[in-house]
Amino acid sequence: MRDLAIRLENRPGALAEMGEALGSAGVSIEGGGAFVVDGKGIAHFLFEDTVAARKALEAKGITVLEDREVLVQRLKQVQPGQLGKISRMMADAGVNIEVIYSDHQNQLILVVDDFEKGCAVSEAWMKQTKNQR
């Protein structure tokens, strides 16, 4: 799975056009979200096939800004503080979380500035949470 950063116009129908372009190409979104910041639309969506997603979007004139690897984690939803703990581990390792959202399986999706360091933290998190069962 990979994250695509997508520029969307800040107007009615822009998100619909994006969804229609992907749907017409048979590309499924696996998670993500879209936001307006300072009047500009930006979306981050998770795809199994970013090549097909990019092709479908660009064919409709929709700009793909980035295609990045993601870290996938499972948090213990019933235990408060999970987001703070994993975020602190990332911060202590010098990893900046640039994008965070959930996928359709309620997994945490992280796009980080240093993927290798982020992977090491992610692996440590999995070992730590496995030992706490």
pLDDT, one tens digit per residue, over 23-56 is: 999 999 999 999 999 999 999 999 999 999 999 9
In this model, does residue 131 exceed pLDDT 70?
Answer: no
In this model, does residue 132 exceed pLDDT 70?
Answer: no
Cα four-point dihedral sign 113, 117, 121, 123: positive
Q: Which CATH superfamily is domain 2-69 in?
A: VC0802-like (3.30.2130.10)
Task: Indicate the burial class of 25 (C-beta count within 10 angstroms; 0-12, 13-18, 19 or more).
Answer: middle
Which residues face 46 on adjacent strands? 3, 31
Tell which CATH classification among 3.40.50, 3.30.70, 3.90.380, 3.90.1720 matches the domain 71-131: 3.30.70
Which residues face 103 on adjacent strands? 31
Cα four-point dihedral sign 114, 117, 120, 121: negative
pTM attached to this predicted model: 0.90
